[in-house]
């Protein structure tokens, strides 16, 4: 195994830990593992080419961050969210993303707004072509760009730890048309508010957009449980 007998300094061990952490986190977020899938040390050490000690440390961190759960007699499993937990994550995202949009409206430069407009045009092209995967990729880029424009790394960091992608993986109905109806127009409203440098309008447009996505995501789940 890649770690054994290396005699590497502590910095090298930290680097291996960080690489293994990022790789496993990306596997979980990308949907490689189903919700409630059991993660075994033997499988992960082989896949990531690190020691069991490193894997244990990685799993501790992922447990603390909410990506996995660890229980006696059940082992470590990928996170499963109740509807209430999922709603709480999505509501927190509304608050954070709207605050970031308000900051972005204040700080955005003309070139940054032009780049955001270009992303939005490509989202429209992807929607017309029914290219769902491309639309999703561009949607993530649109939101990331707003977070960058906001110049608020602490607020942005809170979004990173919300485990929002896991909620989406668990609850998104793949039989429904994507993107959601009106999603593109909601993005256009966000951009228009940013272009006028109106923080209140940007926050309201973002909050409406994220709240609409939350309702669409959870409405179908609640209706099937009634």
Q: What is the mean pLDDT of residues 78-98?
A: 94
Confidence of residue 156 (pLDDT cuts 50, 70, 90): very high
The reported pLDDT for the residue numbered 172 is 81
pLDDT in tens, 179-214: 888 999 999 999 999 999 999 999 999 999 999 989
Q: What is the pLDDT of residue 222?
A: 53
Picking from 5-9, 36-40, 65-69, 94-98, which range would have the lowest pLDDT averaged per residue? 5-9
Query: What is the number of helices (H) and of strands (E) in the chain?
Result: 10, 3
pLDDT tens-digit profile of 105-117? 999 999 999 999 9
Mean confidence (pLDDT) of the chain:
90
CA–CA separation, 117 and 62 (whole Å): 36
SS3 76: strand
Give the C-alpha separation, 190 to 111, whole Å: 17
Give the torsion through C-alpha atoms of 91, 176, 191, 109, to 10 deg: 80
Q: Say whether pLDDT at 226 is over 70.
A: no
The answer on pLDDT for 151 being more than 80 is: yes
pLDDT one-digit tens code per residue, 49-74:
999 999 999 999 999 999 999 998 88
pLDDT band for position 11 (cuts 50, 70, 90): confident
Mean pLDDT of 4-16: 66
Among 173, 162, 156, 185, smallest CA distance to 216 is for 173
In this structure, what are the phi and psi dihedrals at residue 173, rounded to the nearest 5 degrees? -90, 105
At residue 117, the pLDDT reads 98
**Two tokens at 225?**
């449980």
pLDDT of 161 strictly over 90: no
Question: Which of the two residues, 10 and 76, has the higher pLDDT score?
Answer: 76
- Is pLDDT above 60 for 18? yes
Q: 103 with 203: CB under 8 angstroms?
A: no
pLDDT band at 220 (very low <50, low <70, confident <90, very high): low
**Tens-place pLDDT, residues 101-148:** 999 999 999 999 999 999 999 999 999 999 999 999 999 999 999 999
User: Phi and psi at residue 184, in whole multiples of 5°?
Assistant: -65, -40
Closest CA to 60 of 49, 44, 47: 44
Which whole-number Å values give the CA distances from 79 to 31, 167, 204, in the listed order?
11, 9, 31
Alpha-carbon dihedral angle through residues 198, 201, 207, 213, given to the nearest 10 degrees = -110
């Amino acid at each position: 195994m890649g770690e054994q007998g290396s005699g590497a300094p502590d910095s090298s061990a930290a680097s291996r830990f960080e690489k293994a952490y990022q790789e496993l986190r990306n596997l979980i977020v990308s949907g490689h593992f189903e919700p409630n899938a059991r993660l075994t040390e033997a499988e992960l050490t082989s896949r990531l080419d690190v020691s069991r000690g490193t894997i244990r440390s990685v799993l501790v961190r992922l447990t603390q961050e909410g990506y996995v759960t660890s229980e006696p007699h059940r082992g470590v499993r990928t996170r499963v969210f109740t509807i209430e937990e999922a709603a709480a994550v999505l509501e927190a995202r509304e608050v954070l993303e709207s605050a970031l949009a308000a900051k972005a409206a204040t700080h955005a430069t003309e070139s940054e707004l032009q780049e955001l407009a270009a992303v939005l045009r490509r989202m429209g092209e992807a929607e017309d072509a029914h290219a769902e995967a491309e639309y999703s990729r561009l949607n993530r880029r649109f939101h990331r760009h707003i977070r960058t424009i906001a110049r608020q790394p602490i607020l942005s960091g809170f979004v990173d730890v919300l485990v929002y992608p896991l909620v989406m993986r668990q609850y998104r109905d793949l039989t429904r048309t994507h993107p959601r109806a009106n999603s593109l127009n909601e993005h256009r409203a966000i951009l228009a508010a940013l272009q006028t440098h109106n923080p209140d309008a940007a926050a309201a447009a973002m909050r409406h957009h994220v709240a609409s996505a939350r309702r669409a995501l959870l409405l179908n789940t609640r209706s099937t449980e009634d």
